[in-house]
């Protein structure tokens, strides 16, 4: 059975919306990058074109431009809108490896990416509000907690070095009294949870500022033709050049550009340029809100204060039918807090209330009111924001008003790329999928790109460099061999191959989000 035997039933994605919703993270755009075009006109050609300026595109450009493998390489970046105006600028502000619900190789890779990001932000003094935290995964259903705890226990047996990053909090731990466990859950502000898993490595950050910092530095240090950023220049089509050169031509409203290599860092929009990927990377719309926290009791010095959260959160529960729908989807909501004094709560999820669970939706100019209402009303409970926890925990008190509705400063949507087999696609695109020599992708993170994209981008740049060296006849082989050793090894699950495509097309089509493929897997749904 060949790769072309797969039947694509999903329609290709459209282009990014011209007037998207207003993300909290994009409220203060970088003035250097806003509307930036390295040259007034689009160049007719380049050595490499990177399509997309989110976290993948930014890191790929950094590794391309700052690498030593070709000092004269010209790199053009095309962005359909403004810099980082897609999923990276619209996410929940988390960077958290998923250790217990990922394959061990993927879990180890995500931990490596997390450490890389944490060091980068520190060593290069990147001002992106990075705060290292612990991640609390609160399970609001017993079955899914039992399954998650069993997965953590199995990991402890097979890969203790990975399980060392986890702590399972049980309500009914036989080694402790129920009262003590209730206090432990209450001290995490989740007194009604059936249990929790604490992940030792998690962070909150301002993702747009991270990407903007990387690209601003590239723009300043490497002027065209070395690096040429072209915003508001959507790539509308991609095809082999008709001159027999083996190069690729990208068409835009501002003209065409031809390159020896093209990297698609387009995530949920990949199938617009590669329709054969329509069933492999499916656009998925997520929704997020920035909520003003309720003010707590007056402190002794007077005045009111917002609660301070010391963790990032994920709230998970068993699948349940959405209102007026036969579809069932697990609950998977996520939360971080911005610094005081405002302390906005960045809360995302509620996708079971979204149209078609958000599957196949590529427009981010829409806020669904049912989801928005859910996000405003369903943060507390389950999260206890009523009283500050103490070392011994609080009394598990929830606010008297069950349907407390918080005020939203921003409500927005973003488009992610969900992979049919749940893993990112990194590498050269086969001819049977519309690719061939010189075309690469790094996309399809299934809503979990922050702890995977940076080193996935570095790995695909390594593949591009090796292909370039082969094309150039092995020049500078000794120096390149040294560079090879610096390239990360991505999980086998991420590698793009014809065999993987065949396997993926033997799996069900994408019908739900990351939570439907991860948490539902845990409970056998």
**Beta bridge mates, 48:** 75, 261
pLDDT per residue, tens digit, the chain (525 aa), is 345 544 546 789 999 999 999 999 999 999 999 999 999 999 999 999 999 999 999 999 999 998 766 678 999 999 999 999 999 999 999 999 999 999 999 999 999 999 999 999 999 999 999 999 999 999 999 999 999 999 999 999 999 999 999 999 998 665 555 555 566 898 999 998 999 999 999 999 999 999 999 999 999 999 999 999 999 999 999 999 888 888 999 999 999 999 999 999 999 999 999 999 999 999 999 999 999 998 755 444 555 567 789 999 999 988 766 555 545 678 889 999 999 888 999 999 999 899 999 999 999 999 999 999 999 998 876 788 765 665 444 433 344 445 679 999 999 999 999 999 999 999 999 999 999 999 999 999 999 999 999 999 999 999 999 998 877 765 555 455 545 556 789 999 999 999 999 999 999 998 765 454 555 455 443
Q: What confidence score (pLDDT) does residue 70 get?
A: 65
Q: Cα(114)–Cα(473) distance, rounded to whole angstroms?
A: 36
Q: Which helix (H) or strand (E) holds 285?
A: strand 281-291
Indicate the burial class of 192 (C-beta count within 10 angstroms; 0-12, 13-18, 19 or more).
middle
Q: What confidence score (pLDDT) does residue 201 get?
A: 97
Report DSSP state, residue 407. Answer: P
Distance, C-alpha 419 to centroid of its chain: 12
For residue 474, give both structure tokens.
Answer: 């092995």
Angle of helix 207-221 versus helix 55-65 axis, rounded to 10: 30
Q: Cα(68)–Cα(476) distance, rounded to whole angstroms?
A: 10
Domains in the chain: boundaries = 16-90+208-280+418-496
Q: Which helix (H) or strand (E) holds 409?
A: strand 408-419
CATH code for the part of the protein at 16-90+208-280+418-496? 3.50.50.60
pTM of this prediction exceeds 0.85: yes
């Amino acid at each position: 059975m060949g790769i072309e035997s797969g039947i694509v039933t999903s329609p290709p994605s459209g282009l990014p919306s011209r007037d998207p919703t207003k993300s909290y993270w994009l409220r203060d755009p970088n003035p250097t990058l806003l509307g930036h075009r390295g040259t007034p006109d689009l160049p007719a050609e380049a050595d490499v074109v990177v399509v997309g300026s989110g976290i993948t595109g930014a890191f790929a450009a950094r590794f391309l431009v700052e690498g030593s493998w070709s000092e004269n390489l010209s790199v053009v970046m095309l962005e359909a809108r403004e810099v980082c105006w897609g999923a990276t600028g619209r996410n929940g502000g988390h960077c958290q490896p998923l250790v217990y619900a990922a394959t061990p190789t993927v879990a180890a890779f995500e931990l490596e990416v997390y450490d890389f990001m944490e060091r980068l932000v520190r060593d290069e003094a990147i001002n992106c509000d990075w705060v290292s935290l612990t991640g609390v995964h609160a399970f609001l259903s017993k079955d899914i907690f039992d399954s998650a705890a069993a997965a953590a226990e199995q990991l402890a047996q097979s890969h203790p070095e990975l399980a060392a990053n986890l702590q399972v909090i049980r309500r009914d731990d036989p080694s402790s009294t129920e009262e003590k466990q209730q206090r432990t859950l209450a001290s995490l502000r989740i007194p009604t949870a059936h249990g929790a898993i604490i992940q030792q490595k998690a962070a909150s950050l301002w993702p747009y500022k991270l990407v903007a910092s990387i690209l601003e530095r590239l723009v300043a240090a490497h002027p065209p033709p070395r690096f040429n950023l072209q915003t508001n220049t959507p790539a509308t089509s991609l095809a082999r050049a008709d001159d027999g050169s083996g190069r690729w031509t990208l068409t835009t409203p501002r003209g065409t550009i031809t390159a020896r290599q093209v990297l698609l860092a387009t995530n949920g929009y990949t199938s617009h340029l590669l329709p054969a990927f329509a069933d492999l990377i499916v656009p998925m719309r997520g929704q997020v809100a920035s909520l003003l926290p309720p003010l707590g009791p007056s402190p002794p010095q007077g005045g009111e204060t917002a609660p301070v959260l010391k963790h990032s959160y994920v709230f998970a529960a068993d699948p349940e039918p959405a209102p007026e729908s036969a579809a069932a989807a697990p609950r998977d909501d996520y939360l971080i807090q911005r610094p005081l004094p405002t302390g906005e709560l960045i809360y995302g999820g509620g996708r079971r209330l979204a149209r078609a669970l958000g599957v196949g939706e590529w427009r981010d100019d829409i806020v669904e009111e049912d989801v928005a209402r859910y996000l405003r009303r369903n943060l507390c409970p389950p999260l206890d924001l009523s009283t500050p926890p103490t070392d011994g925990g609080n009394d598990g008190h929830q606010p008297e008003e069950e349907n407390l509705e918080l005020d939203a400063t921003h409500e927005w949507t973003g488009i992610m790329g969900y992979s049919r087999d749940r893993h990112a696609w990194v590498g050269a695109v086969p001819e049977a999928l519309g690719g061939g020599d010189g075309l690469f992708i790094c996309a399809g993170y299934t809503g979990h790109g922050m702890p995977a994209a940076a080193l996935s981008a570095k790995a695909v740049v390594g593949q591009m460099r090796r292909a370039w060296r082969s094309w150039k006849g092995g020049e500078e082989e000794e120096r390149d061999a040294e560079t090879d050793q610096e390239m990360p090894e991505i999980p086998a699950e991420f590698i793009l191959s014809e065999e993987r495509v065949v396997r993926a097309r033997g799996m069900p089509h994408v019908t739900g989000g990351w939570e439907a493929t991860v948490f539902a897997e845990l409970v056998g749904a």
